Amino acid sequence: MSDAVIFDLDGVLMDSEQRWNAAKEALVRASGGRWRDEAPRVMMGMSSPEWSAYLHDDLQVPMEADDINRDVVRRMEDGYRRQLPLLPGADEAVRALGGRWPLGLASSSNREIIDLVLELAPFGGAFRVAVSSEEVARGKPAPDVYLEAARRLDVDPARCVAIEDSGNGLHAAAAAEMKVIAVPNPHYPPDDEARALADATVAGVGEVTPALVEKVSAL
């Protein structure tokens, strides 16, 4: 039996990966940088210091990394305040699982964005802890953000179930030795190697039920 469930945010609870990429691309083009088609996949799972450095070093944005970060976050906050892009079934899944287990959030989003989502979302109060990858040494695919979420929940990572959508996220959760439920991102689907790390795969977060978590935790 698991002691906790830890959700990713972008791509699992919110249809937001494309918004992040649009905000970054808009900044790159407006500042005279050079956007690359592979940039969205390269940046998946990166922490804010990591993607800010990537925009500066690789995409040639002529701004300091801190200024890049602030500009993208501002664009995201403005969009979220207009409309929070919750995925179908997200509210129901969080509430159902939160009725059985302590919940954590392990996200590559900035702390400001996580806090804003938890403020605006109907399920915000269900999470006992929320960790941004900017608060740990390494972003996904390293396990750091999942390990920190388990530490703050005071549970053994091996007794947690993680819910992830991306290749880097699946690698991160598996590296933390958690059971993993994959909700593959349709915009940026994980490759077969990453999908093979999952103990179960569902089409959408609404299919992540207490019964499924129990089944996965028993494997």
Report pLDDT digits (tens) over 27-52. 999 999 999 999 998 998 888 999 99
Active site residues: 8, 10
Overall number of domains in the chain:
2
CB 163, CB 183: distance < 8 Å: yes
Task: Tell me: do 10 and 90 sit in the same domain.
Answer: yes
Q: Is 168 in contact with 141 (CB distance < 8 Å)?
A: yes
Alpha helices in 44-163 (DSSP H): 48-57, 65-82, 90-98, 111-120, 144-153
Shared domain for 28 and 90, answered yes or no, is: no
Closest to 100 in 3D by CA, of 195, 200, 210: 210
Of 82, 102, 135, which residue sits at a domain end? 82
**Residue 24 sits in the same domain as residue 98:** no
Per-residue pLDDT reduced to its tens digit, 91-122: 999 999 999 999 999 999 999 999 999 999 99
Same domain? 111 vs 206: yes
Which residues constitute the domain of residue 47?
17-82
Same-domain check for residues 72 and 153: no
**Does 51 share its domain with 126?**
no
pTM of the model: 0.90
